[in-house]
Structure 1
Amino acid sequence: MFKKQNSVLINVKGVEKSFHLQKVLDNIQFEIKNGERIGLVGLNGTGKTTLANLLIGKLIPDKGVIEKPNDLKIGYLTQSIDYEVNDFHESLAGAVDNDLFQHASQLGLRKLYDWKDTRLSHLSGGEKLKLALSMVWASKPDVLILDEPTNHLDFTGIDWLIAELTKFHGPVMIISHDRHFLDQTVNRIFEIENGKIHLYNGNYSDYRKVKQLQLENQRHQYNVQQRQIELVEGQMEQLKTWSEKAHRSSTKQEGTKEYHRVKAKKRDNQVKSKMKRLENELEKQRKEKPLDEAKIRFEFDHHGKRGKRIIEAKMLTKVFDDRILFHDSHFYINQGECIGLLGENGCGKTTLIKMILGMEASSKGELWKSESSKIAYLSQDVADLPVDQSTLEALGYTDRENILKARTLLANLGLKEDHIIKPIGMLSLGQRTRVKLVDILMKEYDVLILDEPTNHLDLPSREQLEKTLSEFTGTIITVSHDFYFLNKLCVQLLVFDNQQIKRVEMKPEDYFNTKKTDDKYEKLLVIENKIAAILGELSIIDQKDPKYQQLDQEFNELLKQKRSLIE
């Protein structure tokens, strides 16, 4: 309906929003034009999801207005993906055309219309997200607002989402901390910082460059101003010293009292004049000290021996009802390795983690674990924290030493006193993830199992977590669809493919490049075989035969496909 490019569809004017007397958004103003691709970024808890809820009308601003057409249809993907089975039942039952099933199929959810209740009740986080995305797309929206759309999503799903966003004609706002995804999808960045919104042109990398230059420029201007203030203050100190000396002289030397009194008064006036000029100068163009970007500190303390085998699988098989997740799989994990688990949503990555943790049994085969290994587990689900307890209550520490250590770690992670005394239900999902990280940091361990560890974390936290994990000497087993994170850490992989788990000795980037080459070679073989078959048929039929023209068209189409693969 809203076809005209660059026409303003949403106009936000002077919007303010507070919660519990704390102002989250302050005088927010911007326009969203048709066809725009906007990335909304900012630290956890700064108000990104609040702004999304204001745009869709779920929340009402305390001040200001949001102008948009009454018939504007906004497709909103929520961040938490805590859909109930009933939500999916209703959408599937109400599907009036094949759009929902088609999108789901493209995302790897095959024959969705045949899924039973038990299948819907055991969806992985990624499968829930794919189904939710299919529901959003099938609603045929005019505007898309996607809150952390790549959390839980496998690389096949991310590729689909990028392609679909390219085809979508309306405006898109994406709330995400996925740097790789933002670079490929957006052309503007809206940053929320200290309740204000700042607008930047370009993708995420462009924004980071401009932001860094702004920070350096602000720091330079602030330092120049500080030197000027020091110089003026030094001059005033000298004048004050001279003034005091003149005042003392005016009381001692009889013949020159008046001279020294005038001199002292002159010095006093000079001090007042300089002070006034300095105050006026600062009032006109004060350079505020730049707030250094958040520095998050994670502290791991482990020194383990490398090389010793700690996990080994032989003929490992896992079946749910009549669905085979993986079978007859052989692999091992050594102490000190960082292993990435790769595979499509629903292939069994989280199930394997549960098997390693002893929460699931194998259907067949053996999964051996070293009994001496102590494992810490960060799950992708932050909904298992008690929402009515404070952070310290949820962590469960009662002795003074552990409480002090927990407070220090929470502060290092950017959770200040006002955060840790709130009920957990009032914290953002990213802040809840940090609470779970502190729970891990408080323990001594040999193995870290991390299921989507960067989900909900803001960018400074992600980057610091990458750095710290790279220095960890124990074993890391991680599931992540954050390509930057996975590629920076992992040099070995467990790949879930064709219902088997295989160990691969390479980084994710190298694996994907190799896989693309292999897929290309297989496609070429298929095309070559078809070309050979058609040439065989063409050689034995007459050119006047109606089938000849049809085969000739197929032959030319296959040649085009072959050329596109070779080029």
Structure 2
Amino acid sequence: MGKNERLKQRSANTILNVKDVKKQYGDKVILENIQFELKQGDCAGLVGYNGAGKTTLANLIFGKLLPDEGSIYRKKDLKVGYLMQSVDYTVHDFKGVLEDQSFEAIFETTKKLGLEKVQNWEDDRLHHLSGGEKLKLALAHVWASNPDLLILDEPTNHLDYQGIEWLVDQLRTFSGAVLIISHDRYFLDRTVSYIFELENKKMVEYKGNYTAYRIEKKRLLEEQKHQYEVQQRYKAKIEGQMENLKNWSDKAHRESTKQGSPSERKQMGFKEYNRVKAKKMDIQVRSKMKRLTAELEKNKIEKPQEEAKILFQFDSSGKRGRRVLEAKDLEKTFGQLSLIKKSHFYIKHGERIGMIGKNGAGKSTLIRMIQGMEDVTGGELWKSETMKIAYLSQDVNDLKEDATVLRALDLHEREQILRARTIFANMGLPEEKLQQTIGSLSLGERTRVKLVSMILKEYDVLILDEPTNHLDLPSREQLEETLDEFEGTIIIVSHDQYFINKLCDKLLVFEDGTVRRVEMKLDDYFSRSKSESNETDIEKELLKIDHQLTAVLSKLSVISRDDPSFELLDEEYSRLLKAKKKLTG
């Protein structure tokens, strides 16, 4: 095949060509001199700081915006499917989706994505869509349009494991071109073969997936840093030489203008010599300056950004979406008992996850596996190497009973002590309690001591196993407020439905031997599941009884046997246990 034929074939495969595009709002330039092309079969990632212009560029490609300069060539009759972020969709948009003529194709896709009975969704249901449901419905609609070019803006922000796997599989066989705006490294690594980076209004193209891009970006940064340092050393050397020449020139000028003695004034030749010398020095200085300026302008190397700033771009702005835990085909067995079967799920930094399931479903076992206290039988349980885990068990009797609160926490520095006192005050533990021994505190107060210890040590993952068991209602509210301020990841195992619903917007559901991730609050999960099986009704009743048991235990833990109410509470406890036993059969 000749050169011209290859160029024609390449041109025929190009479905999008962006050339010298500029976009500004008022006086603020967002994009400048943007150039790239997409060919059939390309899958590229678009990355950059928040506010770098990624969504603006997507809107330009889609035709929603027009460039101020430059051109955007689209292949004739090109169909563009644009998945916006879920927050950009309205109820009206989703009504339109369900009324679309391609509904059957949409329904098939939503089913694969785990959305059930979409055809029966009424207006009220559409008004209460979770972020994940919005995304899946919008994604199904985009896919049903059979586009030639897909633009996906943060497609995994609310997408569960099932949805991500479906999307990865679809992208692998998609014949058109794809542009993915995402901070999700895991997703980009599995899908793209190019990375377009927007930075300082410009675009730079890198070959390979996200990991390859980061390696190359780091290499180029180090190379630029080295070249910049070489340039600065050369500049300093030339400037040093120029300074010497200037000093000599100044000296020559001074010599040439000296009045001197009568005999010296007669030595006109000497003065002329210094004048000539000074002029030569001036010429040399100007020549050196001109040469240096020309060289620096011709091969100018900008000072590179500090690596910390670049890391901040991906570790901080995308940190909320970075995965800290992921299970693939996870299995756990004890002898002949298969407790967890072929389970897939993940947890991202900053998420609040509620673990729900029957007693004995494997919640505590999974917690031990996450902590490394229990081996994985099959599959994989990946954990971030930098993850610092703190675990609050149901047992709060492991603190030294003869130590005061501050001594038990092993606090010595004034700043730490002041911070601890502030947190304790916010959690309803007054100053005088901090001087008491652990043994004199109630179980609820001991729980708060352990929680404060976890907060002070700056862990980024908190695993809380029935944290409200020994807490009264005011203490629970104070705990909710404290945890709500925590910026790390929280995993909660609790039968306190209100507590989980207040704090957690995502769930790990243990059901029929599997663990699955659910992108909704507990109330929404129960509402959706209510009519599906009688088993869920039993589950809710068990949660209710467990909640009542927790309340009774909380009261029993703070009174003595001599208290008049002790006997009545003990009888209520026995009644609830019998009711629970009857339900579990």
If the length of structure 1 is used for normalisation, what is the TM-score? 0.56
RMSD: 3.5
Deviation (angstroms), 1:277: 1.0
Which SS does the other structure have where 2:508 is aligned?
strand
1:52-91 alignment runs, 5 A limit: 52-91=58-97
1:138 aligns with 2:141: no
Which SS does the other structure have where 1:98 is aligned?
helix
**Which residue in the other structure is 1:115 paired with?**
121
Quick one: structure 1 residues 369 and 179, their matched pair in 2 at CA, closer, same or farther if it must change by over 3 Å? farther
Which SS does the other structure have where 2:143 is aligned?
helix
**Which residue in the other structure is 2:44 paired with?**
38
Quick one: structure 1 residues 373 and 119, their matched pair in 2 at CA, closer, same or farther if it must change by over 3 Å? same
Q: Structure 1, residues 474-525: CA drift from partner, whole Å, max 9, x if none?
A: xx4269xxxxxxxxxxxxx973232999999xxxxxxxxxxxxxxxxxxxxx
**Which residue in the other structure is 1:280 paired with?**
294
Which SS does the other structure have where 2:136 is aligned?
helix
Which SS does the other structure have where 1:65 is aligned?
strand
Deviation (angstroms), 1:31: 1.1
1:103 aligns with 2:116: no
1:112-191 alignment runs, 5 A limit: 112-191=118-197
**Which residue in the other structure is 2:19 paired with?**
13
Deviates more, 1:163-172 or 1:331-340: 331-340
Indicate conservation of the 8 Å contact 2:225/2:304, yes or no: yes
AA aligned to 2:296 is L
Q: Matched residue pairs, number?
A: 350
Which one has more relative contact order, counting CA pairs under 8 Å at least 6 apart?
1
Which SS does the other structure have where 1:140 is aligned?
coil
Indicate conservation of the 8 Å contact 2:14/2:75, yes or no: no
AA aligned to 2:28 is Q
Quick one: structure 1 residues 149 and 369, their matched pair in 2 at CA, closer, same or farther if it must change by over 3 Å? farther
Deviation (angstroms), 1:178: 0.5
Q: Structure 1, residues 195-254: CA drift from partner, whole Å, max 9, x if none?
A: 111111111111111111111111111111111111111111111111222222223353
**Which residue in the other structure is 1:498 paired with?**
511
Which SS does the other structure have where 1:66 is aligned?
strand
Deviation (angstroms), 1:114: 2.2
Quick one: structure 1 residues 80 and 101, their matched pair in 2 at CA, closer, same or farther if it must change by over 3 Å? closer
1:51 aligns with 2:57: yes
1:134-533 alignment runs, 5 A limit: 134-252=140-258, 253=260, 254=264, 255=267, 256-293=270-307, 294=309, 296=312, 334=392, 335=451, 336=454, 339=461, 370-371=475-476, 373=478, 445=482, 448=485, 469=488, 476-477=489-490, 495-498=508-511
Deviation (angstroms), 1:26: 0.6
Indicate conservation of the 8 Å contact 1:494/1:502, yes or no: no
Indicate conservation of the 8 Å contact 1:449/1:478, yes or no: no
AA aligned to 2:56 is T
Quick one: structure 1 residues 367 and 141, their matched pair in 2 at CA, closer, same or farther if it must change by over 3 Å? farther
Indicate conservation of the 8 Å contact 1:326/1:500, yes or no: no
**Which residue in the other structure is 1:26 paired with?**
32
Deviates more, 1:191-200 or 1:95-104: 95-104
- CA distance in 2 between counterparts of 1:219 and 1:72 reads 43
Indicate conservation of the 8 Å contact 2:16/2:72, yes or no: yes
- CA distance in 2 between counterparts of 1:220 and 1:26 reads 28
Deviation (angstroms), 1:81: 3.4
Quick one: structure 1 residues 61 and 215, their matched pair in 2 at CA, closer, same or farther if it must change by over 3 Å? same
Quick one: structure 1 residues 121 and 97, their matched pair in 2 at CA, closer, same or farther if it must change by over 3 Å? closer
AA aligned to 1:33 is K
Indicate conservation of the 8 Å contact 2:86/2:134, yes or no: no
- CA distance in 2 between counterparts of 1:73 and 1:173 reads 14
Indicate conservation of the 8 Å contact 1:494/1:501, yes or no: no
Quick one: structure 1 residues 120 and 326, their matched pair in 2 at CA, closer, same or farther if it must change by over 3 Å? farther
Indicate conservation of the 8 Å contact 1:10/1:67, yes or no: yes
Deviation (angstroms), 1:449: 5.3
- CA distance in 1 between counterparts of 2:282 and 2:84 reads 65
Deviates more, 1:208-217 or 1:47-56: 208-217
Indicate conservation of the 8 Å contact 2:106/2:144, yes or no: yes
Deviation (angstroms), 1:120: 2.5
Which SS does the other structure have where 2:78 is aligned?
coil
Indicate conservation of the 8 Å contact 2:509/2:516, yes or no: no
- CA distance in 2 between counterparts of 1:503 and 1:185 reads 23
Which SS does the other structure have where 2:45 is aligned?
strand
- CA distance in 2 between counterparts of 1:447 and 1:286 reads 50
Quick one: structure 1 residues 229 and 150, their matched pair in 2 at CA, closer, same or farther if it must change by over 3 Å? same
Deviation (angstroms), 1:374: 5.6
AA aligned to 1:214 is L
Q: Structure 1, residues 310-335: CA drift from partner, whole Å, max 9, x if none?
A: xxxxxxxxxxxxxxx96767989723
Indicate conservation of the 8 Å contact 1:109/1:127, yes or no: yes
Indicate conservation of the 8 Å contact 2:356/2:507, yes or no: no
- CA distance in 2 between counterparts of 1:197 and 1:178 reads 19
Deviates more, 1:136-145 or 1:289-298: 289-298
- CA distance in 2 between counterparts of 1:43 and 1:121 reads 32
Which SS does the other structure have where 2:72 is aligned?
strand
**Which residue in the other structure is 2:526 paired with?**
none
Point out where structure 2 has 5 or more consecutive residues left out of the alignment.
Answer: 1-8, 317-354, 365-390, 393-450, 493-505, 518-585
Which SS does the other structure have where 1:174 is aligned?
strand
User: Among the aligned pairs, what percent are the same residue?
Assistant: 50
AA aligned to 1:275 is M
Indicate conservation of the 8 Å contact 1:326/1:499, yes or no: no
